[in-house]
């Protein structure tokens, strides 16, 4: 078999879930005296926690149909890259494509339960119940630790994303509160308390997850540490971020010398990618099928002569394309830019460029070489923790803690030379003249290194360049967080405060 992957079988679970912030409702009825009970039962039961961490259209939930964190629509790239200086404004469809791409999030105030990530506060409750069931079970201590670590990784990561979208939100972390009136209390916790819970979950996960799980695609130690490091970075806790980054650096991963190989199906297993969404060719995005990689359908223009993908999602321009200013920010020798196609001969034999109407470089980060049929969705795994990203974050943290140091400069240059190519050379001396100059340069490197990987908005906000960067590509930055849907505010009877700025 070419690839081992987890096809998550989702068990029906009895859980209290507060629909629309109102009275708790129970869905299903499985007695915990009979299920889950055995080690095999818990292996299936715990797979539930992976539901939001796949690349599919979404999943069914008692609150409605919900997108995954890595869905092509309403997923991390649409939420965190699309609204930035990396991606063009797209008006071809209007609606949420245009609104996300212009960084205008006000429309989300009127959103219902479907495709609404605020609803994932209820998924946090679900994971809390799973953790409690694991702890009360009679399975082995080793299994308890591993399964609890998987669940706490999922809970911590869910809360990480919720924090980046809404700020601290009400969640239930005490199983004794499930199914009680506590579920109707939608008072926001303090940021300190919410952060402490994220850090606690991710720290436990990092200490108890295996480095290399038996099943490819399950959470591992590296993804826990990477999300923990990003949590510290985004809170500007650079001391703990540096400590965590240094821990990752001791784990035996190394940079590849071919940046493009990180995203090819044939070379997706490598010593740099620490955790990736496991995708399988020829899938359709169904909830009960394996994850898929649909990005070429969203990034190839209609007239782009793809290999397997020959008919794109859009009728003309692609919904997702890079801005010319971002493309032009690369050094011409930077091999990382080669995955942005600035010129191509279309299906009619016409060379398309910026001069004759190409909206922006084609994002070809995931080459369409897999699948057994034409127009098949691809099987390229989607990296979510890479050493190159961690090294740049570590350099940023060291710089904030100690100013430009030879070590931090060396980390950036290692990534540049391995991924950009030796002809790119080291950073110019002016880039490291002082702490501020180096910080600005690191932000550039983070953009060149991790574009279209769902990190750009947090990077811009952390570096204090959210508004200025968007202005360079004709976007007007409003609040970078999302508004809470109005129905949630109403249901809370005034206890849930709206996100500042709305």
Provide the mean pLDDT of the chain: 93
Which range has the worst mean pLDDT, 77-86, 186-195, 269-278, 369-378? 369-378
Any idea what the Cα angle at residue 227 is, between residues 223 and 230, rounded to 5°? 140
Would the pLDDT of 13 be above 70?
Answer: no
Task: Please give the average per-residue pLDDT across 223-236, as a whole number.
Answer: 98
Q: Identify the H or E element spanning 355.
A: none
* Residue 277: predicted pLDDT: 98
With a CB cutoff of 8 Å and minimum separation 6, the contacts of 341 are 361, 362, 364
Structure tokens at 106: 């006000």
- The answer on pLDDT for 344 being more than 50 is yes
> What local confidence, expressed as pLDDT, does residue 58 receive?
95
| pLDDT computed for residue 233 by the predictor | 98
pLDDT of 441 over the 70 cut: yes
Task: Quickly count: other Cβ atoms within 10 Å of residue 370's Cβ.
Answer: 22
* Tokens linked to 430: 């002016």
pTM assigned to the model: 0.94
* Residue 32 pLDDT: 54
> Quick check: 27 pLDDT over 70?
no
Contact 18, 184 (CB under 8 A): yes
Please tell me the predicted confidence (pLDDT) of residue 114: 87
Buried b (16+ CB within 10 A) or exposed e, 385-419: bbbbbbbbbbbbbbbbeeebeeebbebbbbbbbbb
Q: 299 Cβ partners below 8 Å, 6+ apart?
A: 318, 319, 320, 321, 362, 363, 364, 365
For residue 444, give Cα distances in angstroms to 30, 263, 389, 469: 52, 21, 12, 11
Q: List Cβ neighbours of 204 (8 Å cut-off, separation of 6 or more).
A: 148, 149, 152
Examine the pLDDT at 76 and tell me if it is beyond 90. Answer: yes
Predicted pLDDT at 433: 98
Q: What percent of the chain has pLDDT over 90?
A: 88
Give residue 3's pLDDT: 44
What six digits make up the tokens of 449? 């290194």
Domains and CATH numbers, the chain: 18-251 (1.25.40.390), 252-463 (1.25.40.390)
Distances (CA, A) of 342 to 95, 314, 325: 27, 19, 12
Question: Which two three-digit tokens encode residue 397?
Answer: 């943290």
The runs of H, that is alpha helices, within 167-303 are 191-208, 221-234, 238-249, 295-299
- With a cut of 70, say whether residue 15 has pLDDT above it: no
Q: 299, 348 in Cβ contact below 8 A?
A: no
pLDDT beyond 70 at 12: no
Task: For residue 1, count CB atoms less than 10 angstroms from its CB and return exposed for 0-12, middle for 13-18, buried for 19 or more.
Answer: exposed
For residue range 123-133, what is the model confidence (pLDDT) as tens digits? 999 999 999 99
Which pLDDT score, from 0 to 100, does residue 14 have? 35
Phi, psi of 279 (to 5 degrees): -110, 155
Q: How many whole angstroms separate alpha carbon 198 and alpha carbon 160?
A: 7
What angle is formed at CA 474 by the lines to CA 472 and CA 477, rounded to 5 degrees? 85
């Amino acid at each position: 078999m070419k690839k081992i992957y987890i096809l998550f079988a989702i068990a029906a679970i009895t859980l209290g879930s507060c629909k629309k912030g109102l009275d708790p409702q129970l869905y299903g009825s499985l007695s915990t005296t009979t299920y889950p009970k055995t080690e095999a039962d818990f292996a299936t039961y715990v797979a539930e926690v992976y539901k939001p961490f796949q690349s599919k259209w979404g999943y069914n939930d008692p609150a409605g149909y919900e997108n995954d964190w890595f869905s092509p629509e309403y997923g991390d790239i649409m939420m965190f890259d699309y609204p930035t200086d990396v991606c063009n404004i797209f008006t071809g469809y209007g609606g949420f494509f245009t609104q996300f791409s212009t960084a205008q999030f006000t429309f989300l105030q009127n959103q219902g339960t479907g495709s609404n990530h605020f609803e994932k506060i209820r998924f946090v409750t679900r994971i809390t119940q799973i953790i409690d069931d694991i702890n009360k079970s009679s399975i082995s201590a080793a299994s308890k630790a591993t399964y609890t670590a998987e669940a706490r990784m999922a809970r911590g990561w869910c809360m990480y994303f919720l924090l980046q979208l809404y700020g601290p939100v009400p969640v239930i972390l005490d199983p004794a509160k499930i199914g009680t009136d506590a579920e109707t209390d939608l008072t926001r916790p303090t940021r300190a308390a919410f952060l402490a819970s994220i850090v606690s979950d991710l720290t436990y996960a990092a200490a108890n997850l295996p480095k290399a799980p038996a099943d490819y695609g399950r959470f591992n130690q590296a993804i826990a540490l990477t999300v923990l490091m990003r949590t510290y970075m985004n809170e500007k806790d650079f001391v703990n971020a540096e400590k965590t980054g240094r821990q990752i650096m001791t784990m035996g991963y190394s940079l590849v010398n071919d940046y493009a190989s990180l995203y090819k199906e044939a070379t997706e297993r490598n010593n740099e990618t620490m955790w990736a969404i496991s995708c399988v060719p020829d899938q359709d995005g169904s909830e009960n099928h394996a994850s898929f990689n649909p990005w070429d359908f969203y990034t190839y223009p209609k007239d782009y002569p793809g290999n397997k993908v020959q008919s794109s999602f859009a009728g003309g321009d692609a919904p997702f394309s890079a801005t010319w200013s971002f493309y032009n920010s690369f050094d011409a020798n930077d091999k990382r830019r080669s995955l942005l196609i600035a010129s191509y001969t279309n299906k009619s034999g016409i060379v398309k460029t910026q001069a004759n109407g190409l909206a922006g470089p084609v994002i070809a980060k995931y080459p369409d070489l897999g699948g057994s049929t034409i127009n098949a969705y691809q099987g390229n795994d989607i990296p979510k923790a890479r050493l190159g990203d961690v090294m740049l974050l570590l350099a940023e943290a060291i710089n904030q803690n100690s100013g430009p140091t030879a070590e931090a400069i060396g980390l950036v240059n290692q990534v540049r030379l391995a991924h950009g190519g030796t002809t790119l050379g080291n950073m110019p001396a002016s880039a490291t003249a002082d702490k501020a100059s180096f910080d600005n340069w690191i932000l550039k490197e983070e953009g060149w290194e991790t574009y279209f990987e769902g990190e750009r908005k947090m990077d811009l906000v952390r570096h204090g360049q959210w508004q200025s960067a968007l202005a360079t590509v004709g976007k007007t930055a409003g609040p970078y967080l999302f508004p809470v849907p109005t129905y949630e505010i109403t249901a809370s009877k005034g206890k849930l405060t709206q996100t500042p700025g709305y």
